[in-house]
């Protein structure tokens, strides 16, 4: 990604975007760059402003202030009809009284193209989304997943420079969703069209995106590759929203060491607070090590197994530390559980690897 960033100028540049709804700020000073051919996901809980940002990019609901450039052209104040994008909505918004071919060819007809050319293009598009023989059917006769693919073909018909997907998979059941995830990704790789997808589903974002933009309360919390966002969450919010995280209250002892309960934990303290300040340590359940932890080893923690929840390929274990005052969640593989004979009530020694601990200001106030 960094290579790409260096190589070419951004395709879409968003500068200091704000959106007010009365007294409510839906977007607070958002700046963002998206590069040609990227697949970017806007991820966040409902009401975080991700859809508002998408609709501002499309020109459907214009921002209160701020600028947007697309392919070096300022589009900040252009109406949707003068911007270059295709869009797919969660509701599909297929025209119910037009058949599939007419839906896909809807924008082509207005271009005044010859009928045969339109028919060929529509056929190509339907083949592209894997519905080669559905042209004469009406939307109501198709399944949800098929309707969504028709909507995708319609959005791509005019070969837009930017493809916007507004929660395109939320209305579908799990199996279809997983399948369409791969399909959309494959389509993106084939066409190379710069794509922005809005979603509240972290799994969707992690599996599909080149880069994820995590948003909360009108602010961008973090922009990064799925791996960066998951491994190195920039804030307690991101750590909590993407994946599962343990938050452990601690006090900074000295640079590189924080005290959690009665245990001193080595960690990379990359924030400012000096000794004596409260911090929150974050560690993912799967990063808790249980094999080969010697007594007295650095970052080791004596715990008692309070609960074992079987989740198929692994077990999520609640570890009580310091009496029952703090609970640490850990994901143990079935192997580990079997080898160590992990059962409720068992006393264990676990370690929290320093390079897997993230440190956030305590005020970030996660649970």
Residue ranges in 118-157 that form contacts with other proteins under rule CB under 8 A: 138-141, 154-155, 157
* Beta strands 194-199; 39-43: pairing state: parallel
Nearest Cα to 276, choosing from 247, 250, 299, 246?
Answer: 250
> Who's near 275: CB < 8 A, 6+ residues apart?
252, 253, 254
Q: Closest approach of Cβ 198 to other proteins, in Å? A: 13
Q: Does 97 bind other proteins (CB under 8 A)?
A: yes
**Given the complex with other proteins, which of 52 and 280 has the nearer CB atom?**
52
In a 10 Å sphere around its CB, with 0-12 CB exposed, 13-18 middle and 19+ buried, how is residue 107 labelled?
A: middle
Write out the two tokens for 15.
Answer: 């500068």
Q: Distance (Å, rounded) from C-alpha 13 to C-alpha 73? A: 10
**Given the complex with other proteins, which of 102 and 348 has the nearer CB atom?**
102
Q: Does 79 bind other proteins (CB under 8 A)?
A: yes
For the chain, where are the alpha helices, taking DSSP H only? 2-7, 50-58, 100-104, 106-110, 115-128, 144-156, 174-191, 202-208, 226-231, 236-241, 334-340
H or E segment and range at residue 221: strand 219-224
Q: Does 107 bind other proteins (CB under 8 A)?
A: yes
Taking CB under 8 A as the binding criterion, the range among 57-65, 198-206, 208-216, 326-334 that sits at the site for other proteins is 57-65
Q: Distance (Å, rounded) from C-alpha 36 to C-alpha 7? A: 11
Q: Does 12 bind other proteins (CB under 8 A)?
A: no
Q: Does 96 bind other proteins (CB under 8 A)?
A: yes
SS3 367: coil
Q: Closest approach of Cβ 187 to other proteins, in Å? A: 18
Q: Does 47 bind other proteins (CB under 8 A)?
A: no
Taking CB under 8 A as the binding criterion, the range among 14-22, 200-208, 251-259, 276-284 that sits at the site for other proteins is 14-22
Q: Closest approach of Cβ 156 to other proteins, in Å? A: 11
Q: Which residues of the shown chain bind other proteins in the complex (CB under 8 A)?
A: 15-16, 18, 25, 28-29, 58-60, 62-67, 76-83, 85-87, 89, 91-93, 95-99, 106-107, 110-111, 138-141, 154-155, 157-158, 160
């Amino acid at each position: 990604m960094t290579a790409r960033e260096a190589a070419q100028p951004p395709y879409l540049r968003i500068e200091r975007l704000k959106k007010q709804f009365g007294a409510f700020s839906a977007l607070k000073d958002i700046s963002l760059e998206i590069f040609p051919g990227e697949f970017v996901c806007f991820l966040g809980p409902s009401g975080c402003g991700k859809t508002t940002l998408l609709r501002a990019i499309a020109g459907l609901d214009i921002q209160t202030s701020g600028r947007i450039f697309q392919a070096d052209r300022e589009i900040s104040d252009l109406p949707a009809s003068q911007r270059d994008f295709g869009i797919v909505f969660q509701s599909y918004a297929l025209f119910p009284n037009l058949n599939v071919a007419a839906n896909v060819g809807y924008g082509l007809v207005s271009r005044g193209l010859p009928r045969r050319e339109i028919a060929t293009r529509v056929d190509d598009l339907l083949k592209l989304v894997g519905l080669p023989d559905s042209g004469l059917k009406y939307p109501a006769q198709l399944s949800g997943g098929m309707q969504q693919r028709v909507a995708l073909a319609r959005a791509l018909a005019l070969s837009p420079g930017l493809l916007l997907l507004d929660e395109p998979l939320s209305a579908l059941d799990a199996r279809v969703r997983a399948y369409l995830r791969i399909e959309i990704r494959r389509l993106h790789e084939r066409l190379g069209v710069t794509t922005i997808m809005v979603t509240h589903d972290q799994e969707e974002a992690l599996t599909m995106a080149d880069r994820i933009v995590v948003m909360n309360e009108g602010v961008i919390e973090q922009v990064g590759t799925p791996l960066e966002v998951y491994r190195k969450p920039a804030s307690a919010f991101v750590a909590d929203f993407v994946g599962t995280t343990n938050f452990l209250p601690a006090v900074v002892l000295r640079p590189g060491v924080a005290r959690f309960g009665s245990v001193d934990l080595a960690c990379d303290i990359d924030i400012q607070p000096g000794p004596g300040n409260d911090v929150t340590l974050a560690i993912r359940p799967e990063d808790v090590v249980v094999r080969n932890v010697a007594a007295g080893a650095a970052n080791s923690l004596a715990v008692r197994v309070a609960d074992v929840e079987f989740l198929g390929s692994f077990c999520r274990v609640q570890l009580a530390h310091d009496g029952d005052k703090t609970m640490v969640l850990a994901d143990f593989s079935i192997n580990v559980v079997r080898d160590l004979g992990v059962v409720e009530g068992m006393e264990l020694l676990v370690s929290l690897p320093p390079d897997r601990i993230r440190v956030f200001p305590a005020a970030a106030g996660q649970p």
